[in-house]
Amino acid sequence: MRNNGCFILLGTLALIFVASSLAEGDGGHITVAFGAEPTQVDPTRTSAGVDGYFIGLFYEQLLGTTPELERVNWLAEAWQVTQQGAKTIISVSIRRGVKFHNGDELTAHDFRYAYQRQSDPASRQAGRLRYVDDVEVLDDYHFNMILSQPDASLISLNLDLFAIPRKYYQAVGDDGVQAHPIGTGPWKFVSRKPREELVVERFDDYWNQDLKPKAKRLTIKIIPEDTTRVAAFKTGAVDWIDAVPPAQLEEFKSTPGVVVASRPAPNNLYIAMIAIDPTNPLANVKVRLAIAHAVDFDAIIEYILYGQGIRTAQLAPGTIGYEASLKPYPYDPDKARQLLAAAGYKRGINVPCYNLTTPREPYIKEMGEAMFAYLGVVGIRCRIVQLEYGAWINLVRVNARPVMDGIVSTMWGHGLPGDPTDAWSGHVHTSGDGWGTYSYHSDPELDDMIKQLRTTMDLKRQEELIRAVARVKHERVAGGIPTYRPLITFAWSDRIEFKPWPGAFWRAMREIGLRE
Amino acid sequence: MRQYIYKRLWQGAIAIVGALFIVFIAQRLSGDPVALLLPMDATEEDFAAMRVELGLDRPFVVQFGLFFSDAVRGDFGDSYLWNQPAMSLLLDRLPATLELALAGLVFAILLAVPLGVLSAAYRGGWIDNTAKLFAMLGQAMPGFWVGLLLIVVIAVKLQWLPAYGRGTLAHLILPAIALGWYPVAAMTRTLRSSMLDILESDYIRMERAVGIPERLIIWRYALRNAAVPLVTMIGVYFANMLGGAFVIEVVFAWPGVGRTVVEAVFARDFPVVQAGVVLASVVFVVVNLIVDLSYGFIDPRIRHD
């Protein structure tokens, strides 16, 4: 009898515990693992692409991108571009009633403050706002961005400004923001141990109740080593991982209880060739075309990248201005040899080949080595120079010394869904006037087209111009040979529901929760 | 003795300044951090403004002079990436590295001492052969590979211990084994060879002749004398573990100093690298000094006058 009483008591306690866990969980606590860690949690001080991983949890912009890669108004209710004399004006109306995590209401003054911080050289992103002269607040919900000239790249940057709480920033200063970031995003900061984890909690007063995360709490572990991250997932220590190693993709797909999704990365990879030195064989379009035909990129994607790449002619499908009729240069080593001979290099050429090695994209080093091996078969003999990312990014700038006087494996982010305007301004337009910092090419006609593209804020016209530039670029093998757009793969346990959102490189963690 | 300590500290300070100077030059030869800090669409004007902000536009000698005068006051500048004081960034991570290094060292000593002593005492026997095999395997298998094997077998297949992270004692076991793996092999070989020399010396023969039990001879008299080279190795390995546990820290996602410094090298985060070099140099100098001083306690014949 006494034993029965104990069992009843224990059972009641267990039920209370389960009930309280469910109530407390309210969507549950999910642990995920990222392979890389941002150094910044302040969107006005970002220094690397990976910084977006955390910023996307806390902060938002005027425009946003849906999982279907459609650009939509986000914190902006409406916006329009007008020309007033020499000035271009972007007039913005923002949503009313949007709250920061500390309860302050979002106003136009916060965007003006964001502009002041982002245009400060210390922000490391001031160049993106170089044509914005000022942000003029009209009232709490309306402001104008005043541009000295039209700048199409602002649109692909979601009008660039971040919603940051002015009063909070001014009260706590830079250190305070780093210690406790506050934005309007779906997740609130709880705690952070650098190199270990970030803990966030659902923001229940989030303005977009339809997109409020289901999970109550999210712990993001930082596990850079692939094998360890995979082991943490297999042992159940984490429910979700990013950057599944391509070599293990098939294993993941065939594991019961595991869901896998691959999405295009924002990076576009290509081969750059120095074409501004007329004495260099690479200045000859026939030689560049020979290189384009000499490499079997499809085979490389299949066998080195395990299929985790989208072959591109100029742009990946889904990118703004994608031209489906433009096909990649076919693999044709005989044609490559003929083109070399027609260019006057029947015996082939010797050329330095600079290979980028970085963990930022899987197997990029091996990809470069395979490309250079293919070139050797048709008589383009590479002297391979391996460069880690820090050395590469220094040397790849056109004004850097020593000059990379050969073939360079290269990458440039186009964003999601992808807009090449900014990248082409940087690596196709002739160097000068603040553009062409990484350009090994000079073509006055392309320069004019890119300038026109850069200063066109009509979205339809912009698409037409992108198509036109892509066609000329393809025909003249100008500004490099595009190779592929990598795919990023995520895996998660089927006990959770997750839908990848494109912000923060598909790590925005908007739709995530325990499966009911 | 005091004079000896002063002299060693003075020499250590010179070594630290020398190391710092070499690193200062090497880093600046390896590339400009500005290209890594700015987005790819940054203009030449952005580059110039950032160089001014970081003080990288000044002549090299001026940069070193300013850095040195700040450094002697304990200010190593702010990390370019983390926007925090570089030294405090590392000191925040030092407890994790100390914890891992000490655990690795304890594992290495606990395994190497009995293996080294027993293999010498039973020379040619199965214990000796096993110890030799173990030592060979230890030296042939790099730590990162041992770490990955441990994760796959112990964490994933057997699910006995966590695969990554820091927190409980259970989290410490696998990284400590991976870190201590190589030193076990080296210490075992060194101790074995040192013990073999000692066990054949006259005073050991004399002890055997007067009937002192073999157990006492080995563990009390022989081991004490054979331990001098082992103590040197312990000091060197401990200093190496503090500064060079990077690979193990990455494999086990351990939030330590080594991982932070190596990532700073790749990011050209000069202040963090410089602070890391000073920290590692100070640790090396202090640990070596302690090791040298400890000789006197192990072997009274060694005195630092």
List residues bridging with A199 in a β-sheet.
Answer: A191, A219
* CA–CA separation, A298 and A284 (whole Å): 25
pLDDT at A360: 81
Q: Would the CB atoms of A196 and B53 count as touching at under 8 Å?
A: no
Q: Would the CB atoms of A227 and B268 count as touching at under 8 Å?
A: no
B9 versus B99: the higher-pLDDT residue is B99
Residue B3 pLDDT class (50, 70, 90 cuts): confident
A-interface mutation test, from B27, B40, B153, B168, most A Cβ less than 10 A away: B40
Domain ranges for chain B, please list them.
Answer: 86-298
**Which residue of B35, B83, B166 is in closest CB contact with A196?**
B166
Q: Would the CB atoms of A47 and B37 count as touching at under 8 Å?
A: yes
Q: pLDDT digits over A224-267, tens only?
A: 899 999 999 999 999 999 999 999 999 999 999 999 999 999 88
List residues bridging with A384 in a β-sheet.
Answer: A353
Query: Rounded to whole angstroms, what are the CA distances from B95 to A357, B86, B98, B258, B274?
Result: 32, 16, 5, 12, 19
Q: Would the CB atoms of A227 and B165 count as touching at under 8 Å?
A: no
Contacts of B82 in chain A (CB under 8 A): 39, 194
A-interface mutation test, from B164, B168, B272, most A Cβ less than 10 A away: B164
List residues bridging with A189 in a β-sheet.
Answer: A200
Residue type at A69?
Answer: L
Place of tokens 């290979």: A355
The CATH number that domain B86-298 falls under is 1.10.3720.10
pLDDT at B137: 84
pLDDT at A20: 44
ipTM computed for the complex: 0.81
Q: What percent of chain B has pLDDT over 70?
A: 97
Q: What is the mean pLDDT of residues A193-218?
A: 94
Q: pLDDT digits over B194-204, tens only?
A: 999 999 889 88
* CA–CA separation, A378 and A196 (whole Å): 49
Residue B303 pLDDT class (50, 70, 90 cuts): low
User: How would you classify residue A124: left for phi > 0, otherwise alpha for psi between -120 and 50, otherwise beta?
Assistant: left
Fold of A63-168: Dipeptide-binding Protein; domain 1 (3.90.76)
Domain ranges for chain A, please list them.
Answer: 5-58+185-239+495-514, 63-168, 267-487
Q: What percent of chain B has pLDDT over 90?
A: 30
* CA–CA separation, B90 and B139 (whole Å): 30
* CA–CA separation, A268 and A313 (whole Å): 11
Residue range A5-58+185-239+495-514 forms a domain whose CATH class is: alpha beta
Distance of CA A323 to the CA centre of its chain: 21
Q: Would the CB atoms of A128 and B39 count as touching at under 8 Å?
A: yes
A2 pLDDT higher than 70: no
For β-strands A71-73 and A511-514, DSSP reports them as unpaired
Contact B156, B162 (CB under 8 A): no
pLDDT at B244: 63
Q: How far is A473 from chain B (nearest CA, A)?
A: 20
Q: How far is A452 from chain B (nearest CA, A)?
A: 17
A434 pLDDT higher than 80: no
Q: Would the CB atoms of A237 and B164 count as touching at under 8 Å?
A: yes
Q: What percent of chain A has pLDDT over 90?
A: 76
Contact B207, B221 (CB under 8 A): yes
Helix (H) or strand (E) holding A82: strand A76-84
Query: Would you state the torsion angle of the CA atoms of residues A507, A512, A514, A515, taken in this order, to the nearest 10 degrees?
Result: -110
Helix axes of A364-378 and A285-294: crossing angle, nearest 10 degrees: 110
* CA–CA separation, A412 and A104 (whole Å): 38
Residue A326 pLDDT class (50, 70, 90 cuts): very high
Q: pLDDT digits over A479-515, tens only?
A: 999 999 999 999 999 999 999 998 888 998 999 999 8
Tally of CB atoms within 10 A around B34: 23
**Architecture label for domain A267-487:** Roll (3.10)
Per DSSP, A104 falls in state P
